[in-house]
Amino acid sequence: MSEALMCQGDAMDCLAEGRYHAKAFFEKLAREHAEQEELLKKTAKAFGKVYDTIHAMAKLLGGWKRGEDAMRKLMDPDIRAQICDKIDQAKQFDEKALVYMKEYLRV
């Protein structure tokens, strides 16, 4: 189970960090490009929702630490099901961000 926790934790780390910086990047673009401000803010918001969803996953595991308590929680089928729901939610927000980015590139 320690390998599963490390895999879950590494994925959460990468996604949280990446989406945090993506949110900040699109907020900066929104300030610099008033003509596309609304679209860029929507993109930033979608990335922010992914970030928030990853934090909700960490909360289900008792935080960001990867100790015995988190391992036990990850073994719980109910918690794993909730994490799966959060993964699906994060995917939906990522897909929205992709649509917005493609729209921005078309403009």
Tens-digit pLDDT profile for residues 33-51:
999 999 999 999 999 999 9
User: Residue 92 CB: number of other CB atoms within 10 A?
Assistant: 14
* pLDDT tens per residue, range 52-93: 999 999 999 999 999 999 999 999 999 999 999 999 999 999
The answer to whether 62 touches 75, Cβ cutoff 8 Å, is no
Provide the whole-model pTM: 0.93
**What is the overall mean pLDDT for the chain?**
96
- The structural domains of the chain, with segments of one domain joined by +, span 2-106
**Whether pLDDT at 1 is above 80:** no
Among positive and negative, which fits the CA dihedral 76, 78, 84, 89? negative
Q: Is the dihedral of CA 49, 84, 77, 2 positive or negative?
A: negative
CA distance 57 to 95: 19
